[in-house]
Chains A and B, each alone.
Chain A
Amino acid sequence: MAETMTKEVKEKEELEWFGPKERKLITDPLNDDNPVTVQILGVCSALAVTTMVKPALIMAVSVTLVTGFSNLVISLMRNGIPKQIRMIVQLVVIAFLVTVVEQVLKAYSYPVWKQLSVFIGLIITNCIVMGRLEAYAMANPPWRSFLDGIGNGAGYGFILIVISVIREFFGRGAILGFKILGATDEFLLNTTKHWWLSWYQPNGLMVLPASAIFLVGIIIWIQRARNPKLVDIS
């Protein structure tokens, strides 16, 4: 009894709402501990949704919500889950949250739901969610787990948005459906009318799924060149 008391007191002393440790939980996944480029988690469902910015944005928000709240729920339940069946418990919690997200999207944004189709469901097996549950939420208090989930979701969303901006701009000459560069009058800058832009052609490769993989590879290259600590020696 005394032991648990001292443990609780100690835990309370360490816990803050937005101390330096808590801030680190949010900012680290955006850069040096990025789930996609450093931890290689969650590449699975990410790359097919990045042809345009809008579905990528919605995917980023959905994943952030799911990672945040599943971390919170599992962290609250962590002392009551038997070790042998923890995977199934985690999967059921995640599947429930994803179902909520899917139903909300279906109700309020039907075209996007149609476009994302199976990829919303694939958030369940997105390795980020499971990975963070196993690595963080099973051993840490709820508020920090929640922040860790939000941070990792945001790190994933950040990569998704960077890739989708590049792909939509170079592939279709638009950002968020707002047409910027192109060969007809629909676009803000009609390339055929300006002699200094007449060479411009949209890059068809950027529309193909393979380009997303190349872009992730290049982002990893840049990040590791800037931070040699991350270089893979194996």
Chain B
Amino acid sequence: MDNLLNVFIKSAFIENMVLAYFIGMCSFLAVSKSVKTAIGLGAAVIFVLALTVPINWVISELILGPNGIFKTDLTFLRFILFIASIAASVQLVEMAVEKYSPSLYNALGIFLPLITVNCAILGAALFMVARSYNFSESVVYGIGSGVGWALAIVAMAAIREKIRYSNVPAPLRGLGIAFILTGLMGMAFMALMGINPATYMQ
């Protein structure tokens, strides 16, 4: 249990997808203009990550791994199968949500197809393999990194809503200041692990 809590805290805060690794930046910058849409996309990302990371764990252990059903090392097929499973599960989620909860579908609708190409989803699956998590850890890791991503995008959207009232130099307006804000937020998040450049020195 301690271990699972550890994985959750680590994935949500210390090794936050956006602010520590800068993964998932495209949609992070594009959709962080208002808090409302940011919450919608954040919720959709949590949902999809909680679903796809365990699915990809099953794929990589039971199908591609040397102890899987084919008894051979098929890890070179990882990328194709991961991206296919992500695209398929996003499609399924979209259809299920549309059928059973039209109001949620209206709230998330536009963002769901965008999520397939969000680097954070594939990134989480690849990190899950690189860190050799077991099944329960990968479930928690999926939820945790989703929560971390959602937290970051909502915070960013809130800052960008406020910054519209301040006098930013014209060439820096919009994208430029968004980058610098992300950098500052990344540095603030780094306080969670203590600023220690030696860990990045390898």
Contacts and interface: CB of A to CB of B under 8 A. Distances in A.
Nearest to A90: B117
Nearest to B29: A40
Nearest to A226: B171
Contacts of A211: 183
Interface stretch (B39-47, B62-70, B137-145, B173-181): B173-181
Interface string A115-138: 001100110111100100000000
B84 A91 contact: yes
A221 interface: yes
B119 A126 contact: yes
Interface string A211-223: 1111011001111
Interface size class on chain A is 35 or more
B170 interface: yes
A209 B122 CA distance: 20
B126 A208 contact: no
B201 A207 contact: yes
Given A43-B26, A98-B79, A207-B201, A217 B176 contact: yes
Contact of B25 (A43, A103, A217): A43
A212 B20 CA distance: 12
B37 interface: no
A207 B197 contact: yes
Contacts of B25: 43-44, 47
B177 A44 contact: no
Contact of A87 (B21, B22, B116, B190): B116
Nearest to A92: B80
Interface string B68-103: 000000001111101110010000000000000000
B190 A208 contact: yes
Contact of A125 (B20, B117, B172): B117
Interface string A3-45: 0000000000000000000000000000000000100111111
B85 to A, nearest CB: 11
Interface in B117-157: 117-119, 121-123, 126-127, 130
A103 B24 contact: no
Interface residues of B, number: 50
A112 interface: no
Given A208-B195, A208-B200, A217 B22 contact: no
A126 B117 CA distance: 8
B83 A44 contact: no
Contact of B175 (A208, A209, A210, A220): A220
Nearest to B118: A125
Interface in B161-202: 169-177, 179-180, 182-184, 186-187, 190, 195, 197, 200-201
Interface string A97-124: 0110011000000000000011001101
Interface of B: 20-26, 29-30, 76-80, 82-84, 87, 113, 116-119, 121-123, 126-127, 130, 169-177, 179-180, 182-184, 186-187, 190, 195, 197, 200-201
27 contacts: A40-B29, A40-B175, A43-B22, A44-B24, A45-B23, A51-B200, A92-B84, A99-B79, A121-B79, A121-B122, A122-B119, A125-B122, A208-B187, A208-B195, A209-B20, A209-B200, A210-B187, A211-B183, A212-B22, A213-B179, A214-B179, A220-B175, A220-B176, A221-B169, A231-B170, A231-B171, A234-B174
**10 tightest CB-CB pairs across the interface, nearest first?**
A232-B174, A217-B179, A224-B171, A213-B183, A44-B119, A118-B126, A210-B186, A217-B180, A225-B171, A43-B25
